[in-house]
Every structure is written in C-alpha cells, then in structure tokens.
Amino acid sequence: MPETDRDGDGKPLPEEIVMGIEEIQNLLPHRYPFALVDRIIEFVPEKKAVGIKNVSINEPFFQGHFPTRPIMPGVLIVEAMAQVGGLILTQMDNSGRLFVFAGIDKVRFRRPVIPGDRLVMTVELLRIRSGRFGKMHGRTEVDGVLVTEGEMMFSLVD
C-alpha cells in the first residue's frame, strides 16, 4: 500500500512506485516503441490502477505528428490508458493469456498532450463477464487537468 501525503488525504506521493518498469514488462507484452506506461503509483487488485507516462520529445511519433507542433496522438493516449487497464486484467487472470481491445466508447479529448507533459492515467474496472470480457473507465490528466476520458472494452484471446 502506498504511503499517503502529509495532508493525510489518502493519495499516493507523486513519486511512490507500486510497480516499476521491470514489473510492468513482466506483466504486459508491449515493448518499445509501444510500451506506454512508465510506472504504476496506485493499484487496487481487481478494481483500479493509476499509471504514469512521461511524454518526451524523443517519442518516435513526434517525428510526424506534427514536426512543427508536436502533439501526442489521441489514439496513443487511449492505448496508454488501455495498458494500465491491462495490468488490472493480467493480475486477475494468471493464465498468461492475452487481453486485447474489443472496443472503445464515449472517448473525449479535452486538450493536447505535448512533450514534457506527465500523463496520470486512472483506470477503473466497471465489470467483467465470464472472466473473458471486461469494461473499464479511463481518465487521463496532466497537472490535475482532465485530458482524455472514455470507456474501454477488453476480450481474452485464447
């Protein structure tokens, strides 16, 4: 369980690491340049995970999106949220099988994400059916300001 800040509000300290990159790579199959979660700062098994993605000008997608005004593609923000959600699902199913995107709903992009931003992604499990299908709500913030939110569906691949 992460330590709380000095105000006692129950939120993890900004640098508290619940899962580092090595543990994330042991759980998720994604690798560079598609690994989009740097650390997990909060984890409630079968319920919720909060992850961090540090956005750098060195990201390969900035070469073409857009060279004179770098903006992180929205689909990659959603993918980053999905990877945080994938950590919840892989912890629930120890079979080593793969969960994949089955759909997205109600996704909204509120502001651009640019180099230097730190994405804080909160993903909560809404429901799981037959141990094979899941639905989650994701929310991404930069400096406490809502950037993206939406629902994601997952399916277990045999």
CA end-to-end span of the chain? 33
> Residue written as tokens 């994400």?
113
Q: Are 148 and 128 in contact (CB under 8 A)?
A: no
Q: For the sheet containing 133-142, what is the strand order?
A: 39-44, 48-54, 118-129, 133-142, 145-157, 98-109
Q: Which is nearest to 85 in space by CA: 144, 126, 141, 143?
A: 126
Residues noted as catalytic: 65
Q: Which is nearest to 128 in space by CA: 45, 42, 29, 46?
A: 46
Distance, CA of 78 to CA of 95 (rounded, Å): 25
Instruction: Determine how many CB atoms are found less than 10 A away from the CB of residue 157.
Output: 10
